[in-house]
A and B are shown apart, each in its own frame.
Chain A
Amino acid sequence: MSDLAARQAELVEALTAGKPVPAGFDGFRVEAARVALLRKRAGEVSRQWPMLAASFGERWKREFGGWAAARPTQGSLRDGWDMARDLHSRGLLHGPAAEELAEREARLRYNGNATPRPRRTPALRSAAGAVVVQFAGRVRVIRRPT
């Protein structure tokens, strides 16, 4: 690996994976860039996952920034998906955000490692207060009567 390649990799790791700032760089400025990058990612994820973002209200950018600080981006669709699954597994995903995840899970197959693909078979997912049914690519959300 060339010197430039190694140094570029070091810098990207400092900005995305919680690694130390490489020697000689202005730590304050690299930190400002790291935070700006997380804010930009939060904005992109909120466009793909509006209900997930809305569930945090004003705290969205900070919460996403905390979750994503040591997780380099896999693209905003997968970033939001991974965060939603993580929250779901800890019982912290509720309401429209849970429905949004269930709807995606019914529509697309995502193994956590590669680009989500449309499901070819019918799927059924339940979320807080709702059931999501996907058949032949069409998705319906059936809410339980309250």
Chain B
Amino acid sequence: MGERKDCKEFEKIISGSQSSNHQLVELKNTAEKIKTTSMQYTISENEVKFKWETLMQQIKLHEKSVTNSENLRFNNKTNLNQQRRFAMAWIFIAISVLSLGGVGTVYASNDALPGDVLYPIKIATEDIQLFLSDEEGDVDLLLDFMDERLEEMEIMKEDNNLEGIDLALESYQNQMKQITNLMTKVKPDDPVAGDALQAEVQNRLEEQAQRMLNINEEKGEQLQIQEQTQEHIETQEQLKSGQDDLSTEEIENGNQNNTGSEQDNQQPEEQQSQQQTGMQFSVSLQSYQLTQEGQFIMHFSMNAAQSGEILVRVNGIEYACSSSQSSLVCQGQAPTDETVHIEVIDVNNGSSLLDQWILVSSNDSSSTNNDNGNGQGGSGGKQH
């Protein structure tokens, strides 16, 4: 009660009334002190004018970038010209450094989200980083930037901001194209390092594909993201076939006939279809190859990540396989029989995920699809 009375009286004092309550008068003086002290913080007129000019430049630039962005979205021209992007990047950086106090703006743009004023600066800064890095460094950077785009899409999804998702997705698509091109050019001196790099890229892309699917599942209607997921799987397949036995030049030249690229191109559609409709976990044989040392290498594709243990039998012999998000690779001593029986079993519940017979010609070391026990279909053997 006393406090309310004090509050009322304090209002009168603060409005200029006289009072004998010294404590409240002192509080009024404290309030005055806060006001006068804060007023000492000021900026010169010249600086304010400079800020105004900067704002006008920013407004013009922002309007241009919004127009560009909208044109790109609505015309579906997502493939930005690299040189133009670099030019834009330098303009943004130069203006921000000159006008907004320099490094601070670029630093502040690190937290920018699609649709924010500083978002184009963030993207431009990434381009500059790529420009300054070597090709192998570019791969790492691009993967990090793509992770960042996914994070942005997740935040935008939480905010129900479809336009924001579009913007982040557009940038993600660009970076996906860049990394695909880059992977055909990077030639590490050490082949082991090259394999490791490819494996890392593949793993990261698979993780990203899963995140993309999660965004897609929860959003429900993001057709564009579905398309991106499809593109994602295709990229993984391309990388995978590159990891098998293709030279980088062959990928670059589109010469993929020795790994059954036609099938690889068909498979993502099947995977996509399974993911969208049944959502039942399934495995299909992608390739069965024989090496000169008499070893077999089998590639399976899975329509989702398998958390449990998977067992693979070849003519009744069990083999250890390495699995990642959407693929399974097995290697071992090849049976001498022309007929090979391949079984994939879910150890958790003992169910058969794949039961397939294939014919392997001893003359030309090719493998042929014979029968598909669980009706998966379309995964015949491949020449190698």
**A interacts with B:** no
Residues of A at the B interface (CB closer than 8 Å) are: none
